[in-house]
Amino acid sequence: MNKINKFEMRLSALSENENFARSCAAAFCLPLNPTLDEINDVKTAVSEAVTNCIVHAYNGAADKYIDMSVTAEEGGKLTVTITDSGCGIEDVEKALQPFYTTKSDEERSGMGFTIMSTFMDELLVTSEKGRGTQVSMTKFIRGARNVDSRTDSAAD
Residues in the chain: 156
The answer to whether residue 52 forms part of the interface with ligand ATP (CB under 6 A) is: yes
Annotated catalytic residue 48? yes
> What gap in Å lies between CA 112 and CA 48, rounded to an integer?
5
The answer to whether residue 56 forms part of the interface with ligand ATP (CB under 6 A) is: yes
Angle at CA 11, nearest 5°, toward 37 and 16?
65
Q: Which is nearer to Mg ion, 75 or 110 (CB)?
A: 110
Annotated catalytic residue 52? yes
Taking each helix axis as running N to C, give the angle between helix 36-52 and helix 112-119, from 0 to 180 degrees, rounded to the nearest 10: 150
**What is the b/e burial string over 135-146, where b = at least 16 CB atoms within 10 angstroms of the residue's CB?**
bbbbbbbbbeeb
Residue nearest ligand ATP, CB atom distance: 112
The answer to whether residue 83 forms part of the interface with Mg ion (CB under 5 A) is: no
Alpha helices in 29-58 (DSSP H): 36-52
The answer to whether residue 110 forms part of the interface with ligand ATP (CB under 6 A) is: yes
Site for ligand ATP (CB under 6 A): how many residues?
22
- Span near ligand ATP by CB under 6 A; candidates 6-14, 23-31, 107-115, 139-147: 107-115
List of residues contacting ligand ATP (CB under 6 A): 48, 52-53, 56-57, 84, 86-89, 95, 100-103, 108-113, 133
